[in-house]
Structure 1
Amino acid sequence: MNKWLSSSAMVAALIVSQSAMAASKPTIVLVHGAFAESASWDGVAAKLVKDGYPVVAVANPLRGLKYDSDYVSAVLKSIDGPVVLVGHSYGGSVITDVAVEGTNVKSLVFVAGLAPDNGESAGSLGKKFPTGTLGDALAPPVVQPDGKHDLYILQSKFWKQFAADVPEPQAALMGAEQRPVTAEALNDPSGDPSWKKLPSHFIYGTADKNIPTELHEFMAKRAGAKETVGVKGASHVVMISHPDLVSAMIERAAADK
């Protein structure tokens, strides 16, 4: 009986210790981009959770920049304690546009993410370095009842365009399960950017066909990034093909002062 009590006490102490460790670390809020969904963070989230970080993978609505950023801002305000805010692709535009005032966001991580300045959009940024091939890979828009136009990547082109460094069967599932973004969201102008107020980190794949390397480097330099990592040969979904590198950067951002 005493042995059982001792074991129970040890288990209870371990649970309390793990809870305290999680409470002492910032919450990592992950915002997916267009043509993706929250499961695109699975590898990254698994590593972060294993290392004791609380994680929230937000279901980005992909309906419009203000709508999406307001939605994420509301999620942020519901979280106690410090937050590291992470955005992939168009999700980078969303974390750029969030209202960080009144939240505990301490740093930003752009994962193959867009970082527009005031008045810029995803579309206008693409025109600065027009070597991306996304436009040629899109299916005809699907007109919604509200008049907005949903965009999808053609499934036949999804692997090579979006996720060329993951196995083809996995990319085929990703293409089948992709969530559309409205064309309007990609052309909505950004407001006052959060990266002018907070430290930022950038990681991207050098074989990204959605956002060219030159644009990634331009945005990171303009934001005064604390660090910029180009993963050689990685595609637009660097968080899926290289989750350890991405999670390691997020953990470094969690140490920002």
Structure 2
Amino acid sequence: MPASPACPSFLLVHGAWHRPSCWSPLQDVLAADGLRSHTVALPSSGPQGTPAAGVYDDAEAISARLREFEGPVIVVGHSYGGVPVTEAAAGHRHVAHLVYLTAYMPAEGESLGSLHGRDASRPVDLNGVQPPVFEDPRAALYGDVPADRAEWALGRLVEQSRRSFQEPVTRAAWRTVPSTYVICEGDQALRPALQTKMSANATRVERLGTGHSPFLAAPAELAALLGRIAADATDG
């Protein structure tokens, strides 16, 4: 499974309420393009230890996966996935690049909640889980996704631990690892204004005209962008 020294592999890190299967359409296109990709299951999402798991558990799952690689790897974090990627990817010698795909990109001491303006001094219940917080998950997450694929994705949504939204990162991998922030301009879940603000932390910024889930709405376009990022990382 590890990447060869010549071409980076991708490690795809899903967001809140999702599981690794959400990446399947993108992985099919990447494979057709000769690019290797792998996934990781975050323990804060779904039935396996969900209520107690948080950012640090997710970061350890990512770190464990990264330790399996023997060649360069590009870590792609989507939405919430950007938080544990930020915590986990520092210090792994094979990590060549980070991609924040309409993702949270916190600095040290920041959490998903604080990036949305939550007052850190107010007590918060870290226990338990919650379903997607959107009034209309179809519109927020998959508004531009073809109907059959959107229904497939909706049927695979899981609960997410509250803890994962509140735990702050203790380190920021993007300070030492080159990064690309991909702003999704039609996103209804993570608004482009907040994406743009966080993207100031990135080495470079790219844009897609999609909603929140380009791996389902436009997998070929996203795969092409990731291929260019991989080529640039190899040349660099």
Compute the TM-score of the two structures, normalised by the length of structure 2. Answer: 0.84
Distance 1:78 1:102, change over 3 A: same
Match of 1:168 among 147, 153, 176: 147
Instruction: Give aligned pairs, total.
Output: 218
Cα separation, 1, equivalents of 2:105 and 2:134: 27
Deviation at 1:190, TM superposition (A): 0.9
Which residue does 2:215 correspond to in 1? 239
SS in 2 for 1:220: helix
Deviates more, 1:183-192 or 1:49-58: 49-58
Partner of 1:203: 182
Higher Rg of the two aligned structures: 1
User: Which among 71, 90, 95 is matched to residue 105 of structure 1?
Assistant: 95
Residues 34-73 of structure 1: pairs in structure 2 closer than 5 A:
34-62=16-44, 63-73=53-63
Deviates more, 1:63-72 or 1:35-44: 35-44
3-state SS of the aligned residue for 2:110? coil
Q: Deviations over 1:138-167 (max 9, x none)?
A: xxxxx9xxx822121279722112111113
Separation (CA, whole Å) in 2 of partners of 1:203 and 1:155? 22
Cα displacement (A) at 1:115: 0.5
Match of 1:58, as an amino acid?
V
Deviation, 1:180, is: 2.0
| d(CA) in 1 for partners of 2:127, 2:154 | 21
Matched residues in 2 for 1:94 and 1:105: separation?
A: 14
CA distance in 2, matches of 1:88, 1:248: 17
Q: Secondary structure of 2:155's match? A: helix
Q: Which residue of 2 aligns with 1:216?
A: 195
State whether residues 29 and 86 of structure 1, in contact with CA within 8 Å, keep that contact through their aligned partners in structure 2.
yes
How far, CA to CA, are the matches of 2:43 and 2:93 in structure 1? 20
The equivalent of 1:28 in structure 2 is: 10
Under a length normalisation based on structure 1, what TM-score does the superposition of the two structures give?
0.77
Q: Aligned equivalents of 1:189 and 1:72: distance in 2?
A: 16
Which residue of 62, 87, 92 maps to 2:77?
A: 87
Q: CA RMSD in A?
A: 2.3
Of 179, 186, 195, which residue of structure 1 is paired with 2:165? Answer: 186
User: Hey, what's the Cα distance between the residues in 1 that align with 2:35 and 2:89?
Assistant: 23
SS in 2 for 1:195: helix
C-alpha distance in 2 between matches for 1:174 and 1:67: 24
Runs of 5+ unmatched residues, structure 2: 45-52, 119-124
The runs of at least 4 consecutive aligned structure 1 residues that moved more than 3 Å come to: none
- Cα deviations across residues 9-62 of structure 1 (Å, max 9, x unaligned)? xxxxxxxxxx9x966211210000112121211222122222222211111222
* Structure 1 segments unaligned to the other structure (5+ residues): 1-18, 129-142
Equivalent residue letter for 1:59: A
Shift of 1:214: 0.9
Spell out the pairing of 1:111-126 with structure 2 (5 A cutoff).
Answer: 111-126=101-116
SS of alignment partner, residue 76 of structure 2: strand
- Calculate percent identity across the aligned residue pairs: 26
Contact 2:181 2:202 in 1 (8 A): no
